[in-house]
Structure 1
Amino acid sequence: MKTNKKLYSVTLASATLILFLILVSSTASASIAKTRITNHGTAGNPDIYDNKIVWQDTRNGNSAIYAYDLSTKKETKITDSSQYRPAIYGNRIVWDDFRNNNWGIYMYDLSTSKETQITTDRHTDEPDIYGNKIVWDDNHNGYWCIYMYDLSTSKETQITTKGRAFYPAIYGNTVVWWDNRNENGKWDIYAYDLSTSKETQITTSGSAYCPDIYGNKIVWQDNRNGNGDIYMYDLSTKKETRITTNPSDSEDPVIYGNNIVWMDNRNGRLDIYAYDLITHQQVHTTDKSAPSAPAIALYDNKIAWIDTCNGNPDVYMGTISYLPVAAFSASPTTGKHPLNVQFTDKSTDEYYYSWNFGDKSALSTLENPVHKYNKIGKYTVSLTVKNAAGSNMAKKTSYIIVK
């Protein structure tokens, strides 16, 4: 799923983040570990899915599509020339193509090594893909509209008809984009449900740009308050949430799972910021970085972006590590001995577990252990969770009562 956005001409004032840092007992710190993927200084427009990163690259004088497998550390050249703005989902890569002096959308399947031309003789731009559905913006009728192609049915659908719709993103059956259909200088975010054929206007500020979507959540940047801020809208609750507030340039937001990531210059330079919607933690790059738009792609806890920290644009990857927050439940919490209790981990951002059941038994390192209490008593239970960023403990006094 594509999460990077095209470079745009928007003047943003500054914004700072409303975030509530969680106090935890840690042995390290939350971070974004940074890895350089390319070293030719000719890369642009990255996207990431699972262990694969794709981007456009002009190292040989022409813009071609490349892919890199993080698990095998192998780079593959996908196309030869005049290809731009790739997006990836699963084994399928789509891009904008100008090889025959005509713009079109193409697709390549990594599992079959087969290339497919999706459109012909059209002025297309900014493709995105999710599952069997490809979306893009298209100007072949003299005005920019959003189109969708279903690979399973080989059917093309025109999503918008009112012109000046740009940069679509898709997740499931929902397509989002930013739109200036009235050509009045006001830009807003719209969403379209492919299953119901219903369009919804998400914003009315007239200053909303560059949306991304995951599940029921849409994020975008908005300067309705005179500053560039990151906002989120939940389609299921119809609730809008302002993520950032104080002066700094916040731009290019992307979302995956509970992570929102964007670029921010609150420290006098552009850094990559990440925010956890559940724990309200934030992390950001702190080393020498110079990200540039179109910049950011996100999958799970992995970020890909273009960085000019070494003088020229290369692809970098960052791995987000938030501090873990321990939480658990148990069932039953009271009963006659001997009592078997199922413990369930409800922690966030955890990788390793250590359970203390309070009865002087051996510690358990299982995620969701079952423990047997043989004696009458009240037992205090604790769970310690750890990851690369640190550790945290949750403790419940006299939690298990055995009669």
Structure 2
Amino acid sequence: MANKEKLNSIPLVLTALIFIFLILISSVASASQVATQVTRIGNGSDPAIYGSKVVWTDDSVIHVYDLTSKTDTAVNSSAASHPAIYGNKLVWRDESSGVPRFTVYDIPSGARSYITKDIDNRSIPSIYGNRIVWSANYNESNYNYSIYMRNISTSTQAWIAQGENPEIYDTKIVYSANGRDIRDIFMYDITTKKTELISPYSSDLNNPYIYGNKVIWSNFYSRGGFIQMYDLVTKKAIDVTSDNAGNTLPEYANSYADAGDDTGTHIDINGNKVVYSKSGDDQFGYAGVYIYDIPSAKSTSVYIYPRETDTTPDIYNDIIVWGIDSSYGGVNDTGIYICDLSVTNTLPPIAEFTANTTYGAAPLVVRFDDISTGGVSTSWIWDFGDGIDSKHAMNATHTFTKPGNYTVGLTEENAAGNSTATKPGYIVVTDPNIPVADFNSKITEGYVP
């Protein structure tokens, strides 16, 4: 009899576990659909975008996708990586001959030429107009590479400076190099041939990008780095993705004190928008693809991924393209994705949220997570039901100090409209001073007399 009762309890346990598993699957599926206007256009890695064309590599073959005609064209290539595009000019690192070189490809005609001088297996091209810049030839004595520029219209090439990871915009080249302490960000003016130190202080600074009078870079002083932005006109720098505060999420209470320092691995800037990959969870949001609006100084999630996933976002006007950087781990996904912000913002959000706990004694700390669908939200207002409202970027953590049943609501809004999700009596807070009935017994099973 006793054994039969224990066997009967197994199906009940399995049923409960299956039910919990289905809930978790449902939650994850909802959380990944922050922006519904996300389209998979191919498979591969290293995507870049200019105008109506997206380029990437798939199994070392270059692909060119036309956003207007929605056609994918594979370019005859092998051992290709790190493509860059400007207008109808495409350049990538080519190791098909066994020796690193750059292939320069004209998309309309299919004509190609090669850059073979001062290229190594770490050289990554950046192109603007007829100029291509890159770094190569590491110097162990000063811990720097050399930066080179080639004008493909005149077939002339020049050494620019000591440094690495250069990016070019118009007549300006920005790059990272050993400076005052660890690494600084410098800018070279092609017209005046003058170099300027633009980072306000030295740290582990790298991955600079430039657009107009704005320069962004990653500060890798801690973990995966955070983004800083410098204005060439005002000569001032700000932190974009970190306020140097600790992670306030309850599950990270005793963890690292550097929230936002998981946003430096992949960044880009175009117009008034900065896109970046976020690989962790904190009060600033979940891991995923994010866009930072410079005028409003607000970050918005574009697509959510599991923690420790690094994406590779690039942006041109309202189009964001990204893939997954598998070298950092995370999800096993080879997709190339695009999100058209102009289309997404024509849809209102559909508010929905969840909480990490809904029952407990006061003071009860609860983490609320936005799992909305529809268009990308630009504002969030949380109503915790205790007279306290919170304007928060996507997620919120709130402490309920008094016993009671609390109705929680979330209102989300974008240019297309707003939506409210309300859950009556969602949070139940008990009095910590009320005794809880409990008992124990030395005898837990047996046979009747």
CA distances 1:215-239 after superposition (whole Å, capped 9, x unpaired)? 1111011145888321101112212
Question: 1:4-83 counterparts in 2 under 5 A?
Answer: 31=35, 33-39=37-43, 43-58=44-59, 63-83=60-80
Q: CA deviation at 1:315?
A: 1.0
Indicate how the Cα distance of structure 1 residues 99 and 228 shifts in structure 2: closer, same or farther if over 3 A, else same.
closer
Question: 1:266-281 counterparts in 2 under 5 A?
Answer: 266-267=280-281, 269-281=286-298
Q: TM-score, normalised by structure 1?
A: 0.65
* Whole-angstrom distance in 2 between the partners of 1:290 and 1:65: 29
* Whole-angstrom distance in 1 between the partners of 2:36 and 2:205: 28
The equivalent position to 1:315 in structure 2, one of 336, 339, 344, is 336
Give the equivalent residue in structure 2 for 1:180. 178
Q: CA deviation at 1:133?
A: 0.6
CA RMSD of aligned residues (A): 3.1
- Structure 1 SS opposite 2:323: strand
Greater mean alpha carbon deviation, residues 172-181 or residues 249-258 = 172-181
Q: CA deviation at 1:140?
A: 8.2
Q: Which amino acid aligns with 1:51?
A: S
* Whole-angstrom distance in 2 between the partners of 1:174 and 1:32: 37
Give the equivalent residue in structure 1 for 2:431. none
CA distances 1:42-80 after superposition (whole Å, capped 9, x unpaired)? x1111011111111111xxxx121111111111111232
Give the equivalent residue in structure 2 for 1:200. 196
- Say which one has the larger Rg: 2
Greater mean alpha carbon deviation, residues 70-79 or residues 222-231 = 222-231
Give the equivalent residue in structure 2 for 1:349. none
Q: CA deviation at 1:282?
A: 2.8
Give the equivalent residue in structure 1 for 2:169. 171
- Percent of residue pairs identical: 33
The equivalent position to 1:212 in structure 2, one of 193, 209, 228, is 209
Q: Can you give the 5+ residue segments of structure 1 that lack an aligned partner in the other structure?
A: 1-29, 325-386, 393-403
* Whole-angstrom distance in 2 between the partners of 1:291 and 1:134: 33
* Whole-angstrom distance in 2 between the partners of 1:257 and 1:130: 15
Kindly indicate whether the alpha-carbon contact (under 8 Å) linking 1:250 and 1:263 is maintained by their aligned counterparts in 2.
yes
* Whole-angstrom distance in 2 between the partners of 1:201 and 1:53: 33
| Structure with higher RCO (Cα < 8 A, 6+ apart) | 1
Give the equivalent residue in structure 1 for 2:316. 299
- Structure 1 SS opposite 2:77: coil
Q: TM-score, normalised by structure 2?
A: 0.58
Counterpart check, 1:234 vs 2:235: no
Kindly indicate whether the alpha-carbon contact (under 8 Å) linking 1:31 and 1:389 is maintained by their aligned counterparts in 2.
no
Q: Which amino acid aligns with 1:259?
A: K
Question: 1:88-107 counterparts in 2 under 5 A?
Answer: 88-107=85-104
Q: CA deviation at 1:96?
A: 0.8
Kindly indicate whether the alpha-carbon contact (under 8 Å) linking 2:267 and 2:312 is maintained by their aligned counterparts in 1.
no
Indicate how the Cα distance of structure 1 residues 71 and 88 shifts in structure 2: closer, same or farther if over 3 A, else same.
same
Higher helix share: 2
Indicate how the Cα distance of structure 1 residues 289 and 214 shifts in structure 2: closer, same or farther if over 3 A, else same.
farther
Q: CA deviation at 1:280?
A: 3.1
CA distances 1:187-224 after superposition (whole Å, capped 9, x unpaired)? 22111110111111222322212111111111011145
Counterpart check, 1:250 vs 2:263: yes
The equivalent position to 2:135 in structure 1, one of 111, 134, 137, is 137
* Whole-angstrom distance in 1 between the partners of 2:35 and 2:42: 22
- Structure 1 SS opposite 2:105: strand
* Whole-angstrom distance in 2 between the partners of 1:113 and 1:224: 44
Kindly indicate whether the alpha-carbon contact (under 8 Å) linking 2:227 and 2:263 is maintained by their aligned counterparts in 1.
yes
Kindly indicate whether the alpha-carbon contact (under 8 Å) linking 2:289 and 2:311 is maintained by their aligned counterparts in 1.
no
Kindly indicate whether the alpha-carbon contact (under 8 Å) linking 2:278 and 2:290 is maintained by their aligned counterparts in 1.
yes
Give the equivalent residue in structure 2 for 1:116. 113
Give the equivalent residue in structure 1 for 2:416. 390
CA distances 1:231-286 after superposition (whole Å, capped 9, x unpaired)? 10111221212212240311222110000111124536521111111233432134
Give the equivalent residue in structure 2 for 1:158. 159
Indicate how the Cα distance of structure 1 residues 146 and 224 shifts in structure 2: closer, same or farther if over 3 A, else same.
same
Kindly indicate whether the alpha-carbon contact (under 8 Å) linking 2:174 and 2:210 is maintained by their aligned counterparts in 1.
yes
Kindly indicate whether the alpha-carbon contact (under 8 Å) linking 2:42 and 2:337 is maintained by their aligned counterparts in 1.
yes
Q: Can you give the 5+ residue segments of structure 2 that lack an aligned partner in the other structure?
A: 1-33, 246-258, 347-412, 419-449
* Whole-angstrom distance in 2 between the partners of 1:169 and 1:57: 24
Give the equivalent residue in structure 1 for 2:149. 148
Give the equivalent residue in structure 1 for 2:273. 259
Aligned residue pair count: 291
Q: CA deviation at 1:389?
A: 4.4
Q: CA deviation at 1:128?
A: 0.7
* Whole-angstrom distance in 2 between the partners of 1:281 and 1:240: 16
Q: CA deviation at 1:116?
A: 1.0
